[in-house]
Amino acid sequence: MPKGRLAIGYPNESFVGKGTVFANITKESLRVRMRMNRVNELEEERLQKLTKLMNRDQKVQAVLLQRVMERAERNIEHMRGYREIINNDFKFDNFRTMEHGFRKRLVESPRTARQISLETKIYNGGYQPGYFKHEIKRKIRQADPNVFHRVLKKVLKEQSQKESGEVLDRKMSDMTYYRTLKEKQQMGQFYFKPQVRHLVPLSKEFS
């Protein structure tokens, strides 16, 4: 029997073609695959949303932790400054108002006036941290290494400019010049000892 007639008379017995078992299996397989792809896409979107939420939550937690650490560090610095102030600057033995012959009208500077005002507050209310806000800020600033190095750099720069700006007398003899250097060294104007011995030997009275 010709194959065409077999396909027309018995479609289920053909390997290919509409309505055959192979076509039905292929169609069902394609439908299942499309469904699984859609499910995978939805799960991928859901996973991305969860990942974004987790990342955002981690960033929020990191920011909160950083703020807590900074606040704790500020509190520690505040307590250190407060302890140093009450142990040194405003120790009872160092009170200006306890000095013999103290007179309030004899106050000479604003800093002394503030110290006397704080001592009066201590007499009335004790060592409350709120009284020493400005003093604590100044102590924290003085203890900051960045501020220390900035101030030291400024002082060294001014000193260097002052020393380099000095005009030398061209008629000055070498001996007088070296004696001037030695005098400045003795007065503490040099951080390091000038290395001038190898140039011109000094006499015993200048060595």
Neighbours of 20 (CB within 10 A): 16
Label residues 140-162 b or e (16+ Cβ within 10 Å = b): beeeeeeeeeeeeeeeeeeeeee
**pLDDT (average), residues 8-32:** 68
Angle at which helices 145-164 and 133-143 cross, to 10°: 70
Asked if residues 200 and 178 have their Cβ atoms less than 8 Å apart, the reply is yes
Alpha-carbon distances, residue 157 vs 47, 99, 145, 200 (angstroms): 60, 40, 18, 30
What is the per-residue pLDDT across 111-158, written as a single tens digit (0 to 9) for each? Answer: 788 888 888 888 888 888 888 888 888 888 888 888 888 888 888 878
More confident residue, 205 or 101: 101
Which residue reads 């299996």 in tokens?
A: 25
pLDDT, position 118: 87
Task: Work out the mean pLDDT of the chain and round it to a whole number.
Answer: 76
pLDDT, position 199: 43
pLDDT, position 19: 64
More confident residue, 89 or 184: 89
| 3-class secondary structure, 73 | helix
Structural domain boundaries in the chain: 1-77, 90-97+110-166, 170-207
pLDDT, position 2: 47
Q: pLDDT-derived band of residue 71, with 50, 70 and 90 as boundaries?
A: very high
More confident residue, 52 or 161: 52
**pLDDT (average), residues 74-81:** 89
Q: pLDDT-derived band of residue 159, with 50, 70 and 90 as boundaries?
A: confident
pLDDT above 80 for 185: no
Label residues 53-84 b or e (16+ Cβ within 10 Å = b): eeeeeeeeeeeeeeeeeeeeeeeebbeebbeb
Which residue reads 């909160």 in tokens?
A: 64
Angle at 124 between CA 122 and CA 126, to 5 degrees: 45
State the Cα–Cα distance between residues 117 and 124, nearest whole angstrom. Answer: 11
More confident residue, 206 or 131: 131
pLDDT, position 48: 92
Selection from 183, 180, 172, 178 nearest residue 195 by Cα: 178
